[in-house]
Chain A
Amino acid sequence: MIKLVPRGERSRAMAYMSPVFAGMLTLLTGGIFFATLGLDPLHALSVFLIAPVSDIYGIAELCVKAAPIMLCAVGLAVAFKAQVWNIGAEGQLLMGGLVGSAVALQFGEAEGFWILPTVLISGMIGGGLWGLLAAWLKTRFNANEILTTIMFNYIALYLLLYFVHGALKDPDGYGFPESALFSDAATLPILIEDTRIHIGILFALFASVSIWVLMQRSFIGFQIKVLGADANAAKLAGFKHKHLVWIAMVISAALAGLAGASEVTGPIGQLIPSISPGYGYAAIIVAFLGRLHPIGILFASILMALIYMGGELAQIELNLPLAVTALFQGMLLFYLLACDVLINFRIKLKTAATNAAMGN
Chain B
Amino acid sequence: MDIDLITNILYAMVRTGTPLLIVALGEMVCEKSGVLNLGQEGMMLMGAVIGFIATLTTGSLLLGFILAILSGVIMSMLFAGIALGLNANQVATGLALTIFGTGLSAFIGADFVGQPIDGLNPYAIPLLSEIPLIGKMLFAQDLIVYLSFGLFAVIYWFFKSSRAGLTVKAVGENPHAANVIGLPVMRTRYLAVAFGGAMAGLAGGYLSLAYTPLWTENMTAGRGWIALALVVFATWRAERIILGAYLFGLASILNLVAQGLGYPVSPNILAMMPYAATVMVLVMLSSNVVKSKMHTPMWLGKPFHPGG
Q: A4-B305, A148-B282, A341-B86 are in contact. Are A158 and B268 (CB under 8 A)?
A: yes
Task: Confirm or deny: B286 has a beta carbon within 8 angstroms of a beta carbon on chain A.
Answer: yes
Contact B107 A151 (CB under 8 A): no
Pick the contact of A338: B82, B91, B278 (CB < 8 A).
B82
Chain B, Cβ-Cβ closest to A328: B103
Quick one: CB contact mask for A155-168 with B, threshold 8 Å, 1 for yes? 10011011001100
Chain A, Cβ-Cβ closest to B38: A146
Q: A6-B305, A142-B289 are in contact. Are A330 and B106 (CB under 8 A)?
A: no
Contact B91 A330 (CB under 8 A): no
Pick the contact of A147: B78, B225, B289, B305 (CB < 8 A).
B225
Contact B86 A144 (CB under 8 A): no
Q: A87-B95, A337-B96, A338-B82 are in contact. Are A323 and B103 (CB under 8 A)?
A: yes
Contact B104 A166 (CB under 8 A): no
Task: Confirm or deny: B57 has a beta carbon within 8 angstroms of a beta carbon on chain A.
Answer: no
Q: A165-B268, A323-B107, A324-B107 are in contact. Are A333 and B279 (CB under 8 A)?
A: no
Contact A142 B286 (CB under 8 A): yes
Quick one: CB contact mask for A115-147 with B, threshold 8 Å, 1 for yes? 000000000000000000000010011111011
Q: A141-B283, A341-B87 are in contact. Are A323 and B95 (CB under 8 A)?
A: no
> Which residue, of B83, B95, B292, has the highest number of chain A Cβ atoms within 10 A?
B95
Quick one: CB contact mask for B61-80 with A, threshold 8 Å, 1 for yes? 00000000000000000100
Bound: A322/B217 CA distance, A: 11
Quick one: CB contact mask for A301-344 with B, threshold 8 Å, 1 for yes? 00000000000000000001111111111110110011011001
Interface range for B: 35 or more
Chain A, Cβ-Cβ closest to B104: A327
Chain A, Cβ-Cβ closest to B307: A6
Query: Which of A50-58, A189-197, A222-230, A280-288 makes up part of the contact surface?
Result: A280-288
Which chain A residues lie closer than 8 Å to B216 at the CB level? none
Smallest Cβ distance from A156 to chain B, in angstroms? 9
Bound: A144/B284 CA distance, A: 12
Q: How many residues of A contact B (CB 8 A)?
A: 49
Task: Confirm or deny: B153 has a beta carbon within 8 angstroms of a beta carbon on chain A.
Answer: no
Contact A158 B272 (CB under 8 A): yes
Pick the contact of A337: B89, B110, B222, B271 (CB < 8 A).
B89
Pick the contact of B266: A147, A152, A166, A285 (CB < 8 A).
A166
Contact A323 B106 (CB under 8 A): yes
Chain B, Cβ-Cβ closest to A333: B96
Bound: A158/B228 CA distance, A: 21
Contact B110 A334 (CB under 8 A): no
Bound: A6/B308 CA distance, A: 9
Task: Confirm or deny: B158 has a beta carbon within 8 angstroms of a beta carbon on chain A.
Answer: no
Pick the contact of B275: A155, A326, A333 (CB < 8 A).
A155
Q: A143-B283, A151-B279 are in contact. Are A159 and B99 (CB under 8 A)?
A: no
Within B87-104, the residues touching A (CB, 8 Å) are: 87-89, 91-93, 95-97, 99-104
Bound: A297/B286 CA distance, A: 34
Smallest Cβ distance from B39 to chain A, in angstroms? 10
Which chain A residues lie closer than 8 Å to B78 at the CB level? 334
Which chain A residues lie closer than 8 Å to B92 at the CB level? 288, 333, 337
Task: Confirm or deny: B253 has a beta carbon within 8 angstroms of a beta carbon on chain A.
Answer: no
Contact B82 A337 (CB under 8 A): yes
Task: Confirm or deny: A5 has a beta carbon within 8 angstroms of a beta carbon on chain B.
Answer: yes
> Which residue, of A150, A155, A340, has the highest number of chain B Cβ atoms within 10 A?
A150
Contact B103 A137 (CB under 8 A): no
Pick the contact of A330: B102, B272, B279, B292 (CB < 8 A).
B102
13 residue pairs bridging A and B, Cβ less than 8 Å apart? A4-B305, A85-B91, A140-B287, A141-B282, A144-B232, A159-B268, A162-B268, A162-B269, A285-B99, A323-B104, A323-B217, A326-B102, A330-B96
The 8 residue pairs across chains A and B that have the minimum distance between CB atoms: A330-B100, A326-B103, A323-B106, A321-B110, A327-B103, A333-B96, A341-B86, A162-B268
A-side interface residues toward B, CB under 8 Å?
Answer: 4-6, 85, 87, 137, 140-144, 146-148, 150-152, 154-155, 158-159, 161-162, 165-166, 281, 284-285, 288, 320-331, 333-334, 337-338, 340-341, 344-345
